[in-house]
């Protein structure tokens, strides 16, 4: 079955620690996205990638980093510079942006909590 997987479902971070969230898709989509969801707010874009080995900052990239070495994978690292990391993190994928109407399909999400 085609889809997007994220792991782990729950992640705990200690002070000063970097943590990496996994996102894998087998939909053959070129574009991938990372969003952050906080209570009472809309999804906010952290990073996106239109193609392998290329990615762009979204609206709230500070304290986060990504890589896109393979089409199927787009891991997100939450660094110690992100002072308020507690949130629900969602990964999504779509056909390349710029054609209009690109539906984004989401993974099940990772909930990050700070110890």
Q: Which stretches of the chain bind other proteins, using CB under 8 A?
A: 40-45, 58, 90, 97-98, 100-109, 111
Residue among 75 and 80 whose Cβ is closer to other proteins: 75
Q: Minimal CA–CA distance to 36: which of 90, 104, 85, 110?
A: 90
CB of 38 to other proteins, least distance (A): 10
Question: Could you tell me the smallest distance in angstroms from the CB atom of residue 16 to other proteins?
Answer: 28
Q: Which is nearer to other proteins, 2 or 42 (CB)?
A: 42
Q: Which residue's CB is nearer to other proteins, number 16 or number 100?
A: 100
78-30-103-44 Cα dihedral, nearest 10 degrees:
20
Output phi, psi for 111, to 5 deg: -95, 120
Instruction: Tell me which DSSP letter residue 72 carries.
Output: T
């Amino acid at each position: 079955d085609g889809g997007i997987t994220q792991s782990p479902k729950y992640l705990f971070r200690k002070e000063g620690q970097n943590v990496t969230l996994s996102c894998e898709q087998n939909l053959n989509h070129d574009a991938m996205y990372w969003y952050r969801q906080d209570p009472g707010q809309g999804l906010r874009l952290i990073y996106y990638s239109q193609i392998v080995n290329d990615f762009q900052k979204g609206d709230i990239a500070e304290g986060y980093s990504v890589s896109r070495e393979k089409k199927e994978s787009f891991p997100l690292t939450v660094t110690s510079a992100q002072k308020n990391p507690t949130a629900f993190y969602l990964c999504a994928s779509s056909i390349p942006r710029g054609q209009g109407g690109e539906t984004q399909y989401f993974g099940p999400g990772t909930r990050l909590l700070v110890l």
